[in-house]
Every structure is written in C-alpha cells, then in structure tokens.
Amino acid sequence: MAVPKRKQSKSRKNKRRNAHPLTPPQMVKCSHCGSLKLPHHLCPQCGYYANRQIVEVKK
C-alpha cells in the first residue's frame, strides 16, 4: 500500500480544514408536523411554511 513519505504539516492540514464548517446547520422543529427542518425553509416532510400548506408532498 502506498504510504505518504512525510507527515502533513499543521499548516496544510489547517488549510484543508479551513473549508469545513465548524457547526452543523441549525435545525428547528416544524410547527405543523414537528420534524426537524432548516429555519426559514419550507418543511420537506409536510410542505408547510408559516402554518400554511405551500406544496403537496408526494408520499
């Protein structure tokens, strides 16, 4: 198996991880069905936003 010849420097490691987000996206509970969804987004489970059904969700 091919193995790296040298240890990757902290600088290079940190540069790679620079693009990684620190925290996962915040999730809120849907007011209609209670499932987790992104804030200010249509609920993917029930198609509701602001307590109104916006789109039909195919089962």
Instruction: Name the site residues for Zn ion (rule: CB under 5 A).
Output: 30, 32-33, 43, 45-46, 48
Tell me whether residue 8 or residue 44 sits nearer to Zn ion (CB atom).
44
Tell me whether residue 16 or residue 33 sits nearer to Zn ion (CB atom).
33
Tell me whether residue 27 or residue 33 sits nearer to Zn ion (CB atom).
33
Phi and psi torsions of 21, nearest 5°: -70, 145
Task: For the chain, list the strands marked E by DSSP.
Answer: 28-29, 36-37, 48-49, 52-53
**Closest approach of Cβ 48 to Zn ion, in Å?**
5
